[in-house]
Amino acid sequence: MKRLVILSATITLLAALSACGSTANSNSQSSSSETSTAAVTDAAETTEPDTSEEANAEPVTEIGEDSSVVLEVSNHCVLISNSSAPVFSVALSQEIADGCGNIGLFDESGNQVASLLDDGNDCDHKAGDLIYSAGFMYNLRGVHKFTAKSDNFETDSVTVSYIDEITDEDIAEMDKLTAEIGESVNSLKDKDGNVPHEKAGEAYDLVIECVKKLYDEGKVVEYHRNPDNVEIKFAMGITYIYEVKDPLCD
Residue 226 pLDDT: 93
Indicate if the pLDDT at residue 242 is higher than 90. yes
Q: Using the predicted structure, report yes or no on whether residue 95 has a pLDDT greater than 50.
A: yes
Question: How many angstroms separate the CA atoms of 151 and 147, rounded?
Answer: 13
Beta bridge partners of residue 160, listed in sequence order: 144
- pTM above the 0.75 mark? no
Mean per-residue pLDDT over the chain, rounded: 77
pLDDT at res. 166 = 86
| pLDDT tens for each residue of 189-202 | 999 899 999 999 99
Other Cβ atoms closer than 10 A to 83 = 6
E strands, 34-128, in order: 72-73, 77-79, 87-91, 103-106, 112-116
Q: Stretch 214-239: mean pLDDT, rounded?
A: 93
Closest CA to 90 of 42, 32, 148: 148
- What are the b/e assignments for 163-172, b being 16+ CB within 10 Å? beeeeeebee
* Burial (Cβ within 10 Å: 0-12, 13-18, ≥19) of residue 141: middle
Name residue 241's beta-bridge partners: 12, 231
Inform me whether the pLDDT recorded for 179 exceeds 80. Answer: yes
Question: Is the predicted pLDDT of residue 20 greater than 60, yes or no?
Answer: no
Count CB-CB contacts under 10 A for residue 249: 7
Span 5-12, mean pLDDT? 33
| Predicted confidence (pLDDT) at residue 23 exceeds the cutoff of 60 | no
> How confident is the model at residue 139, as a pLDDT?
86
Q: Is the pLDDT of residue 174 over 80?
A: yes
For 29-43, write each residue's pLDDT tens digit.
333 333 322 222 232
**Planar angle of CA 155, 64, 35, nearest 5 degrees:** 65
> In the predicted model, is pLDDT for residue 149 greater than 60?
yes
pLDDT in tens, 39-72: 222 323 333 444 444 444 433 333 334 458 999 9
Regarding predicted confidence, which is higher, 19 or 90?
90
**What pLDDT score was predicted for residue 8?**
31
Tell me, what's the pLDDT at 248?
A: 63
